Structure 1
Amino acid sequence: MKNSFLLISIFILINYCIGSYTKNSYFTVAILRDKSDKNYDDESITIQNKINKLVNDKMNEIYKIIEENKDSYILENGEMDEKLNELSKSSSLKKRSDKNVEFIFKNDIRPNNTYNPSNEITKRNKLSSDSSVEYIPFESVLVSYTCPILNYYAINVYLSDVTENIVCNLENVYFCEPVSKIEFLDHQFNKRDNDNNMKINKSNLNEYYDIEAIKKETNWENVEVQPFNFTGFSNPLSLISQGPKVHYGNTYDENYYYPSSAGKGIDIYFMDSGLLLNHEHFDTYEGTPYKRNITCDAYFNQSNQIFYNDEQTQNECWDPSKDHDESSEYKFDYDRPDYPIHGISVASSAGGTLLGVAKKANLHMIAVFDSSNNIVKGLDYILQHGKPHKTVISLSIGTDGKKRAEEDKINELIEKGFIIIVSAGNDNMNCCGYRNTPLSKYDSTIVVGATNSNIINNKYIKSYYSNYGKCVDIHAPGSVVIPLIDSQSVSYKEIDGTSFSTPIVAGVAATIITNEKTLIDMSIKDNIVGFDSSDTPNRFINNGKKINFTPDGGSLSLKCGPLANNAKCINGCCSKDGKCIKFNDELASEQCLIENGCQNDFGYCTTPEKAIEECEKEIMEYDICQIDTNYYDSLSHRCRIISSDKCKMFYERIHTNQTVCTIAKKYKNFEKNISNFDRKKYVTFMYDCEDECDTFLEECYYDGNYNLSNICNNFKTNLCPSFYDYKSNANYGFVCNTSDLPSELYSPDKITNMYNYMKEILKYINNDYEMDAQYK
């Protein structure tokens, strides 16, 4: 009996200790005066003042609860949470008065809504000499305003487990929900880069297109045409301004066609990592009839306080929590966490001068960091300063968990006439109806998925990373060219993710608001392949121009053979009736056969037997790539193989039917991945390889800065050697594909040097350590 009592006592004590040292966190606390109240902004001044008083009173009540329960904020290390340090300041203020002190909490997002009992409190003063209460203006990190949402007012409160239980059950507390972190939804850099400066050059265009035909189709008053000068890069702008019906053998039309209005007079707002202004990529066209505004309207600091558009904001429109020298020249650097690459990229894609869709739209950046509460504040800023029916909001960010305050605020703006466009996310999962997904979890937004930035067999292909599901309203190219802005010059990189398909849709929305058409009506229907669910709406973004042209002469019916001046098909076969047919054309298995009249002198022609023979040779050449992705032993070895450039090219050709095997498999069933290529299984395996690469970079790659001892231990336990150096084929010696990583950090020479360096260090540390002979 005594033993049982002792065990119960220990159990209670352990649970008490666990409960005493739990994590403190911010919560959104919603204050509701009366359910019958209208939306705050639609209420009378009298009711608004009553709500303001209730909210301030409730904030004082909550603050006192925190003071009375400050011991519940003790951290696991036994120290008091540093955010509670402000209690000494508040206590000192109260001691200065011989009356009861109530705080008037500073409202940085809506200063005019601050409770003001004397109508003139701008500094510490007394209501009157006979008042029993002294009101003192106060700025707190523990209890602060968020903003009104619908008919309630949200505040931001720092709670422990103990105070959460008390505060969330107070009278007039409508609901409580935890605040979460903000995530920027980029996927990864592509290997392609370019250091050349590119300009829009309209004078050198070969005008094979028909401007009048474009005007007739689109009802645009005037048409602008921008050529594409980035050889080897994806070209998303051309895809959104023409249809997918590109005849095989024709030269693809790389131009971007758009209305001359180009979003003039429309505001695009971003909430993102920040922006660098005063650069040619964000030209305001000063002194022209289409002058526009590009501004950093506001940013949030580490304490989630908002700062508005002024000289300081212009200079600090990126994460103030990171160290940076305001006086230094800005420069792109992979090692600089403060460089706002994500914000620059989304703004450039939506409305950049060279790479953007809506080149004359006004661009507004609100730099948000850390807290989902800042998204709600940012939306309230747009509600107050934006123009309904002439404002597009582009959000390439996400939060963990579905938040009622976020959803209600989004719905409030949409009801007022704002267009909100959000990213579907990059997890290759159904993002609809799940809590732990990006802002696509909110039904009223326009949700954007991503496709590859090319056309295969007259089809768009869903990007392997893009989320899907019935809530994904529309798709756009996910691979974009972005400017890496330096103080001296600018270089370019390709990056992909739904973060960048989203601002493309926002840019199109900005260009068509003035033309009174909707995104859905103008989209190209049922032309995307590769979906992992049948209920995903099959829509691809289009700006109104669907007619196709070609530099080969305007028409899209490229001919070959004697009837076309003996023209040859460079890629594909010349059919009996003189048309160029590529392998990925579903007609290729018939039209490219000699027995069916294929013209051998003007392109590739074959027989079923010859196609089978050539396909078998190709299979042998790429035999190393055809591994069993279900077999999970030696994952790093298989990732080295399948992630190589050679094998990635092989699987891309198989998936897009750009190989002679496309013809051959019509006449023979091939094993492995030829006849029955399982794209979903391949994508899943590639995700596993990405995780394996991340493990390597964290555990085994020493860059000279930190974790040398940990990495040495990982080598000694043989975790790291398994990632390395199959010297029989150097192309497969590194678990990560180096072409997908920054070359300045992960060049083959640097990898080899680092590996040799680590072996020498290990020999020095432990003389009896010998690496397995296979890795010497």
Structure 2
Amino acid sequence: MNKFLNLFIFISIFINLFISNTIAKKTKKHTKESIEDNYYLVFVKTDERYIFPTKSIEKRHENNEFIHENNEFINAMVKEIQNLIIDNKDTFKNVTKLEEINKSSLLKKRDDSNNDLENDLIEHPYDYDESNLVFPISSVEDETVILAYLSEKLINVVKSLPNVIGFAPNREIKLSTLFDTYYNLDDIKQETKWKNVEVREKASLHLSLISQGKYNDTLINKYDRSYYYPSSAGQDVDIIVLDTGFNFNHTEFSNLDERSVKCECSVRKGKIETDVTDIYCHRTRHTIDNHGIEVTVSASGKNYGAASKANIYAILLDGNSTSNIIRALEYVRDNLIRPHKTVINMSFGDYFDENDSTVLYLEKILSEITNAGGISVASAGNNNGVVKNFNNTNSNMYPCYIKDVICVGAIYDHYDHEKKLEVMDKTYYKKAKFSNFGEGVDIYAPGYSMVSYLDDKNKLIQKVVSGTSYSAPITSGVIATLLSEYPEKKFDKNSILDYLIKIGLKGAINDIPEGILINNGKHIVYSEDYLNMGCGVNAGNSKCGESQCCTDDGRCVYKTESACQSINGCQIEFGECTVVKSTKEDRCGKGYGSCEEGYYCSSEGYCGKTSSYCDVGCQKNYGLCN
């Protein structure tokens, strides 16, 4: 009986191979795309249920006769498909993979001459060691499923075998969760235009804040603690830190395969000293502090920094005298500037008369650094006063107020010390009490930062630090990630500041509505528990239901309401908005309305058709955006 079945199957295979080859030759030119080698489910009609042998050899011997009678046809078919695969190895696109799949057994034909029943049986996959290429996996009363690894050419051949009643690819089925993650990487890439996205889950608050829009607990159920950033993460960009006290012998700077981290030099009494070790440099003649390493961790620590792959070159200021600062900037200008790849962080400052000779000289040397392609960042200071004309005098905060410097103020990012909760409270989107403000402050950043480092005595420190001294390096880190992610833009001080303003959060600082809150380009706000109670960008890109619109503030309302008009900021991607054309020539945006069809609405609120109008910050609710 077995030989007759084999002969029947062999004749079927021969006929179908001949037909398949003939058809393939005639239609080769018309084939659009080929099918990859893959596993397939072959559904076979049987008279009785296939009986899978158990793992117990003893039990198999007891049931050999019964099993052999019921399984004869399936056994014969499995053997022939195995031989078919081996005879047509050259039809597989990846023969190496074919052999790897079957590496637990020899890739050979099954031999009918072997009458040893135990070796002749096709065992259940869990107890199966003869082939990984073809074997039965399940059986019901009158049907058995065989799993077979086939090339494109063999598909039709196997389909036409005797008693084959069904055939399907072995598909991967999705798990019944809402999403694999609560965030959507494709949406993030679409918004930011980053090549690849890294996600640092359960990150420190100062990092999660800078990679999402303004959190609102009426729209999002659970604050998203993740830090999202481009995978380039500042790589091949230099952050130069002028500060006091560095010890790089810590895990925050352990990824030396991705970047350089070193003490470049020290400045004492206006003179450069290069006899410093690479990983440790601290003051010798002044009170030792760890301000420098805290600043550096905030900028580019592996776990607590904004740009974890940026190079770090530390310049130790052995005293914050103006002579040391000027000499350090001289050294940077002459030795360390790589155009469009250098960020200089200065977390210090004081009030000077605007006509002071020191100020005038600082303006000149910082201008030369800018012209050479460097980008300078400084802290706004912690006097809770204005940066310009302090106490109605001609005193301004320097170097922050210099036009060639990006001046950074601080917001009060709430951190619950008792519960150690790194989550934001929506009421704390406001200026930090200590931060300077007003004219001259270009951007605001978190004023509290979690840091971990080894101090000057190699003692492990982990704590929250506060001040604009940390707002500046957070901003420097964001700038470094942008320089590394978009090298083709060749950012300088002016163009990067313009970019930061365009992607920054506007109107997010409650008590300074005109202030810009630092953001790295990712504005979508997600809920860690998947529960979005609003719509739009500030609610995980959730959409509203039928006949509803998504308002400017992220609420779903019926489209008959005035909030559904584009002039009032209706979010056109997430609901049904009524387009209202702007009545003011060339203007667009909230309060104006939409551009004419075919026009872009720029970040500044102007309609136009050139590429400059559809660049970063383009307002897609009021016109086209690419």
TM-score normalized by structure 2? 0.49
TM-score normalized by structure 1? 0.40
| Structure of larger gyration radius | 2
